Structure 1
Amino acid sequence: MILERPLHVAVLMGGWASEREVSLTSGAGVAEALESRGHQVTRIDMGRDVALRLHAARPDVVFNALHGVPGEDGSVQGMLDLMGLPYTHSGLATSVIAIDKQLTKQALVPHGIPMPGGRIVTREELFKGDPLPRPYVLKPVNEGSSVGVAIITDDSDVGSPIDPQARGPWQEFAQLLAEPFIKGRELTAAVLDGPDGPRALGVTELVVADGFYDYENKYTAGRTEHIFPARLPPEIAALCQHYAVKAHQVLGCRGTSRTDLRWDEEAGAEGLFVLETNTQPGMTPLSLVPEQAAGCGISYADLVEMLVAEALRVHGQRQAQGGRHGPADPA
Structure 2
Amino acid sequence: MAKSVAVLMGGLSAEREVSLNSGHACAAALREAGYEVSKIDVSRDMGALVAALTPAPDAIFNALHGRWGEDGCVQGLLELLQIPYTHSGVLASSLAMDKVMAKTVVATAGVTSPEGRVIKAKDLESNSDPLPRPYVAKPLREGSSVGVRIVREGDNQPPITVHGWRPEQDILVEPFIPGRELTVSVMGDRALAVTEIRPLGDGFYDYDAKYSEDNAVAAVHVVPAEIPESTYDEAMSASLAAHRALGCRGVSRSDFRYDDTARQPGDLYYLETNTQPGMTATSLVPEQARYIGLSFPDLCAWMVENAACDS
Q: TM-score range by the shorter chain?
A: over 0.9
Q: What code does the residue aligned with 1:273 have?
A: Y
Give aligned pairs, total. Answer: 303
TM-score, normalised by the number of residues in structure 1: 0.87
Q: What code does the residue aligned with 1:192 have?
A: M
- Structure 1 residue 263 displacement after superposition: 0.5
Matching of residues 273-312 of structure 1 within 5 Å: 273-311=269-307
The equivalent position to 2:27 in structure 1, one of 31, 38, 60, is: 31
The equivalent position to 1:243 in structure 2, one of 238, 244, 248, is: 238
Deviations 1:269-293 (A, max 9, x none): 5621011000001110000000000
| Residues in 2 aligned to 1:226 and 1:252: alpha-carbon distance in whole angstroms | 28
| Residues in 1 aligned to 2:16 and 2:163: alpha-carbon distance in whole angstroms | 21
**Partner SS for 1:243:** helix
Q: CA RMSD in A?
A: 1.7
Preserved contact between residue 150 and residue 169 of structure 1 (Cα < 8 Å): no
| Residues in 1 aligned to 2:8 and 2:38: alpha-carbon distance in whole angstroms | 9
**Residue 87 of structure 2 corresponds to which residue in structure 1?**
89
Preserved contact between residue 228 and residue 265 of structure 2 (Cα < 8 Å): no
- Is structure 2 residue 136 aligned with structure 1 residue 137? yes
Change (3 A) 1:85 1:299: same
- Is structure 2 residue 90 aligned with structure 1 residue 98? no
TM-score, normalised by the number of residues in structure 2: 0.93
The equivalent position to 1:200 in structure 2, one of 165, 168, 191, is: 191
Deviations 1:234-258 (A, max 9, x none): 0010001000000000001111100
**Residue 321 of structure 1 corresponds to which residue in structure 2?**
none
Deviations 1:274-326 (A, max 9, x none): 11000001110000000000010000000000001111xx44xx6xxxxxxx3
- Structure 1 residue 57 displacement after superposition: 4.1
- Structure 1 residue 268 displacement after superposition: 4.4
Change (3 A) 1:229 1:175: same
Change (3 A) 1:173 1:230: farther
Give the unaligned 5+ runs of structure 2. Answer: none
| Residues in 2 aligned to 1:134 and 1:258: alpha-carbon distance in whole angstroms | 28
| Residues in 2 aligned to 1:132 and 1:262: alpha-carbon distance in whole angstroms | 18
**Partner SS for 1:111:** coil
Give the unaligned 5+ runs of structure 1. Answer: 319-325, 327-331
- Structure 1 residue 33 displacement after superposition: 1.1
- Structure 1 residue 109 displacement after superposition: 1.3
- Structure 1 residue 66 displacement after superposition: 0.3
- Structure 1 residue 50 displacement after superposition: 4.5
- Structure 1 residue 105 displacement after superposition: 1.4
Deviates more, 1:177-186 or 1:103-112: 103-112
**Residue 40 of structure 2 corresponds to which residue in structure 1?**
44
Preserved contact between residue 140 and residue 173 of structure 1 (Cα < 8 Å): no
